[in-house]
Amino acid sequence: METAVPDTPTFAVITGAQVQEALEGQEKLVADLVARTYVTHGAGDSVNPPSYFLRFPDRPSSRIIALPASIGGDVAVDGLKWISSFPENVQAGIPRASAVLILNDRETGYPFACLESSIISATRTAASAALAASVLGDARGVRPRRVGFIGTGLIARYIHRYLVGTGWDFDETGVFDLSADSAAGFDGYLGTTGAKATIHDSAESLIRASDLVVFATVAGEPHVHDPKWFEHNPLVLHVSLRDLSPEIILSAVNIVDDVEHCLKANTSPHLAEQQTGSRDFLDGTLAEVMAGEVTIPADRPVVFSPFGLGVLDLAVGKHVYDEITANGQLRVVDDFFHELRRFG
């Protein structure tokens, strides 16, 4: 008697256009989703192992990163983000990063969707940054009114969108990029939102003129070294992770998304740990600040360094999948799974 074949999940492919449509105008909802995911992760209801970096001897500036993860709570999904960073793409007129996200069924392990994920990755990064700006600003009792962006690519654009979409309003917006064309392009984007930007000729000028500083560069090692540039105690969203010297990190209040993840791969906090042999300079995680377990003083710069957790990609990706399914727009690949009987 033949054993019945168990039901297997269908497999769907979700395009970037579908992802973008599902996330359009959802800034507050996604920021809240990211906040809940941080809480779930902080409570231990997740698995988020170290990212794996695939590097190339003949292409040292490029890499592809695997971020496996599992998140519980009301998301309840496993999966993997596979994201590449090829900085030379920018010169060819295409984005630096490209990515896919695989979602796996928790009961069978079968993958049930593949999503274009550069938009998901940028979205969860921007939502995390906007959330941190609100949480840390409110914890200090003051919201910055002058924002400055160092690095003006896609991530900077998404962070600005999520700041505005979650209620931020700025008196001044500053821009600095090593590429004048990139700075001008970002200035053009800001103009479409009604913001008037000041393009700075140096990182120092921008930092000193900003209460909220956003680092969204492709820097592989620190290029900002002088703690005096931060003597006005700004809030720093250190999204690109490798911009600040250990001296600046050690002079600041340091908040991360996950301690173990952030202290690796020669991030600025990792360099500070290597220099001091200690982790005492870390003040806590964003989830701990949200829970009121960490106090944020106002007399030092505050630096948020998010390594970027795979559980955030899963949470946003599962939300996109659910939205598209509910709208009846899911594109299922027929017969994707074929060999379903053990003995043929």
Per-residue pLDDT of 197-252, as tens digits, reads: 999 999 999 999 999 999 999 898 999 999 999 999 999 999 999 999 999 999 99
Same domain, 291 and 315: no
Q: Which pLDDT value is given to residue 335?
A: 87
Same domain, 86 and 16: yes
In a domain, 95, yes or no: yes
Higher local confidence (pLDDT), 282 or 7: 282
Q: State mean pLDDT over 4-13.
A: 75
Residue 79 has pLDDT above 60, yes or no: yes
Q: Which pLDDT value is given to residue 142?
A: 87
Two tokens, residue 8: 């297997």
Q: Which pLDDT value is given to residue 1?
A: 45
Residue 344 has pLDDT above 70, yes or no: no
Same domain, 248 and 134: yes
Q: Which CATH number do you get for residue 79?
A: 3.30.1780.10
Range of the domain at 91: 12-120+310-326
Same domain, 182 and 156: yes
Give percent of the chain above pLDDT 70.
Answer: 97
Same domain, 177 and 299: yes
Same domain, 285 and 148: yes
Query: Is residue 237 within 8 Å of 132, Cβ to Cβ?
Result: yes
In a domain, 273, yes or no: yes
Give percent of the chain above pLDDT 90.
Answer: 88
In a domain, 5, yes or no: no
Q: How confident is the model at residue 4 (pLDDT cuts 50, 70, 90)?
A: low
- Across 225-321, the runs of DSSP E, i.e. the strands, are 235-238, 253-256, 282-285, 302-305
Q: State mean pLDDT over 65-89.
A: 95
Same domain, 109 and 153: no
Q: Which pLDDT value is given to residue 342?
A: 73
Q: How does the average pLDDT of the chain come out, rounded? A: 94
Cβ-Cβ contacts under 8 Å for 234 (sequence gap 6 or more): 144, 207, 210, 211, 212, 213, 301, 302
pTM of the predicted protein model: 0.92
Same domain, 225 and 134: yes
Q: Which CATH number do you get for residue 244?
A: 3.40.50.720
Same domain, 80 and 135: no
In a domain, 239, yes or no: yes
Same domain, 44 and 162: no
Q: Which pLDDT value is given to residue 6?
A: 56
In a domain, 31, yes or no: yes
Q: How many domains does the chain have?
A: 2
In a domain, 173, yes or no: yes
58-to-55, 74, 98 alpha-carbon distances in Å: 9, 43, 20
Q: State mean pLDDT over 175-197.
A: 94
Size of the chain in residues = 344
Q: How confident is the model at residue 9 (pLDDT cuts 50, 70, 90)?
A: confident
Q: Which pLDDT value is given to residue 96?
A: 86
In a domain, 331, yes or no: no
Same domain, 137 and 72: no
Same domain, 162 and 245: yes
Q: How confident is the model at residue 170 (pLDDT cuts 50, 70, 90)?
A: very high
In a domain, 2, yes or no: no
